Amino acid sequence: MKIVRTDMELETPFVDQTLREKGHDLVLLPDGVSEKILMKEMEDCEILLMCYTPITKKIIDSAKRLKAIVKYGVGIDAIDIPAANQQGIVVVNIPEYAEETVAEGAFAMLISLAKKLPALQKQMKSNAWVWPSREWLGLDFAEKTLGIIGCGKIGSSMARMAGLGFRAKVIGYDPSKTKEDLAKRGIQKYDDLTEMLKECDFISIHAVLNKKTKHLIGAKEFAVMKENAIIINSARGALIDEMALLDALEKKQIAGAGLDVYSLEPLNNTDHPLKNLYEMDNVILMPHLTFYTEEAMHRLEAETLERITEVMENRPVTIKSKDPRLQNQPQ
């Protein structure tokens, strides 16, 4: 069977070795592969493994033997799912492998910014020591208010770490959850996002990106935040109006930001619209790697192989995601 895996820079050695040992023709393609090259490889491909590469209708229509698209990751926005389903192609992702892992990464960024660790480390490297002047005053986490936007499994893990672990007050905004749902997770529900943001010392975003949530946080929202507020985004870049975030940081409307995701990836410090963030000591920039731990990657590879095996054996493909776009697919 011919299998194409895009985004080869994200190494999956267990998946690659297993497929080759079983005699399959595995073709690896880099991030940024052209649509033309991908379409050529897709002509006789039966399973497509992808992570970031856009899978357009044109690509799908060129794949006459394709049975399944397996996203080895969570987000499915880059896949034209209706086009795939129209051709009888099932689309599946791996939604649960890094829920706790991403929450840990988000919390690590938040606590680092609250304690001013990036700026202090920079000073230590350049000046060897830092004396306790007011510019280096950090913040306690205990008894501060953390606002969580998107209170699913990752947001709930974040709430547990902050509330039970650090004695923070945790409040949340998630229209899909009831007051009772959030209370069970240690989160006080807010129905109005603006009103919640006014209360927050820290904000962590864990929402799903869709038409309703794109630029959920913009200039209006930054304007109501506290000056000492720190915002973390480890979900999807476009949940924030990033130019409004840059403006808020430059004007010191908020105290800091930790980002692992961006609307335009990869980030760079030469011609990217957000390149000025590299110069800010109150900003942590992660290269979309809060998911990337030894344990999480083991889970991801193991489950990816499970989904591939189901396709090969003509069994129904297990869909663990609750995303409506992946429900009621051809099997």
CA–CA distance, 152 with 166 (Å, rounded to integer): 20
Catalytic hit among 9, 43, 195, 265: 265
Q: Does residue 236 carry a catalytic annotation? A: yes
Catalytic hit among 24, 288, 299, 325: 288
At 250, is the secondary structure helix, strand, or coil?
helix
At 281, is the secondary structure helix, strand, or coil?
coil
CA–CA distance, 331 with 317 (Å, rounded to integer): 7
Q: Are 219 and 249 in contact (CB under 8 A)?
A: no
CA–CA distance, 161 with 155 (Å, rounded to integer): 10
Q: Are 239 and 184 in contact (CB under 8 A)?
A: no
Catalytic hit among 5, 185, 236, 307: 236
- Computed from CA positions of residues 199, 195, 105, 129, in that sequence, does the dihedral angle turn out positive or negative? negative
Reference 59, options 43, 75, 46, 73; nearest CA is 43
Q: Are 126 and 182 in contact (CB under 8 A)?
A: no
CA–CA distance, 225 with 200 (Å, rounded to integer): 7
CA–CA distance, 299 with 95 (Å, rounded to integer): 11
Reference 204, options 258, 140, 127; nearest CA is 258
Q: Does residue 288 carry a catalytic annotation? A: yes
- According to DSSP, residue 236 is labeled -
Reference 307, options 59, 85, 71; nearest CA is 71
Q: Does residue 272 carry a catalytic annotation? A: no
The token duo for 124 is: 């230590």
CA–CA distance, 83 with 87 (Å, rounded to integer): 7
Reference 306, options 30, 132, 92; nearest CA is 92
Map tokens 């399959």 to a residue.
24
Q: Active-site residues: which are they?
A: 236, 265, 288
